[in-house]
Amino acid sequence: MKIVRADVIVTCPGRNFVTLKVVTDEGVYGIGDATLNGRELAVASYLRDHVCPLLIGRDPGRIEDIWQFLYKGAYWRRGPVTMTAIAAVDVALWDILGKVANLPLYKLLGGASRESVMVYGHATGRDIPEALDRYAEHVEQGYQAIRIQCGVPNMRSVYGVSKGNGMYEPATKGVVEEQTWSSEKYLDFVPKLFEAVRDKFGFDTHLLHDVHHRLTPIEAGRLGKSVEPYRLFWMEDPTPAENQGGFRLIRQHTVTPIAVGEVFNSIWDCKQLIEEQLIDYIRATLTHAGGITHLKRIADFASLYQVRTGCHGPSDLSPVCMGAALHFDLWVPNFGVQEYMGFPKEALDVFPHAWTFERGLMHPGEAPGHGVDIDEELAARYPYDPAYLPVARLEDGTLWNW
């Protein structure tokens, strides 16, 4: 079997997605997600101009060799654009392998390690009562794990809260939104949010929260310590993770579990964090961290240190990523939880999928491969629409971490 075509499809059904379709001489094809939010066309060009021509004529079954070829062969290793492009190829090739073997991807990985995949949903509110209402809705829908984000009094904007009543979407069309941030106001307020959740709903649901890289390590240590009574499932991205050693400071002060990794793109980004057991959950994704082949390597390494997975799963990774991630999650022995934000309806129509959701649990389905397809005719009706992630500034105007 040989690869005869590789096409990049850019579409905006509710938001922008980049998809790679790899076609073989036997007519079997596979698809992979290549979406890098706010920088979509960089990956589309990397694939179209540099990677697709190199795939033609290759045996799609040599997944590991093609991965190594694209990683080492570029000379310029790692980075989000490169690793997203490699991931798209990798996931498409695993999809082909599954279709050829007539097996769902999770069986190729070693079979199911559990009956279903626990996912966490997003409860967001402009204030505590609104956030609690959304939390209650998630409890009613059967979610066992819920992330909560809430507006902070006297702060004009905050990370992670829906603008209207719809889904949370961080990107804004055409412009870079400038938000303001105060770590002091946030730190004084946020323990009250968790207290309100536990007072109202007790301790039966896993409670998650995303700090979105906003604090310094010592501030993060203080936050973790102050919220220990509310037993968070995790405190996500408490501080930027370029300086992995910085997490030692957080660990010295708190036993609140830590999740990191949604902006990571290789095992090297998380090596020290995992080896020194500075985190509890690794959040790298298939799409941004080199696909199934590389995420498997990260997860196996993490398992040596009792670090579990908690894959990033926002609506800005496509339904293709979600489908493939669910196969990975069903297999991976050191699974923790999977994020599931949901998708705009148009996106679900463009990407027909085999996965199912029932009361906070998901299953990838039994379709061969990863079970997600793309309706190219429908995709063509939603042209690319440039959008950017916001930036955050401190109240004096200093550019901060969004």
Q: Which residues are catalytic?
A: 159, 212
Structure-token pair, residue 266: 């290789």
Q: Interface with ligand GCO includes 33 (CB under 6 A)?
A: no
Q: Which stretch binds ligand GCO (CB under 6 A): 215-223, 290-298, 310-318, 393-401?
A: 310-318
Interface pick for ligand GCO out of 314, 319, 336, 360 (rule CB under 6 A):
314
Tell which positions 164-183 bind ligand GCO, by CB under 6 A.
Answer: 170
Interface mask toward ligand GCO for 244-273; x: CB under 6 A: ------------------x-----------
Which of residues 210 and 280 has its CB atom nearest to ligand GCO in the complex? 210
Q: Interface with ligand GCO includes 40 (CB under 6 A)?
A: no
Structure-token pair, residue 377: 């005719």
Which of residues 310 and 323 has its CB atom nearest to ligand GCO in the complex? 310
Tell which positions 337-376 bind ligand GCO, by CB under 6 A.
Answer: 339
Which of residues 94 and 120 has its CB atom nearest to ligand GCO in the complex? 120
Interface pick for ligand GCO out of 33, 95, 316, 329 (rule CB under 6 A):
316
From ligand GCO, Mg ion, none, interface partner of 316 (C-beta below 5 to 8 A by class): ligand GCO
Which of residues 106 and 247 has its CB atom nearest to ligand GCO in the complex? 247
Minimum CB–partner distance for residue 160 and Mg ion (Å): 8
Which of residues 310 and 368 has its CB atom nearest to Mg ion in the complex? 310
Q: Interface with ligand GCO includes 16 (CB under 6 A)?
A: no
From ligand GCO, Mg ion, none, interface partner of 314 (C-beta below 5 to 8 A by class): ligand GCO
Q: Interface with ligand GCO includes 329 (CB under 6 A)?
A: no
Minimum CB–partner distance for residue 314 and Mg ion (Å): 7
Q: Which residues bind ligand GCO (CB under 6 A)?
A: 37, 170, 210, 212, 262, 312, 314, 316, 339, 389
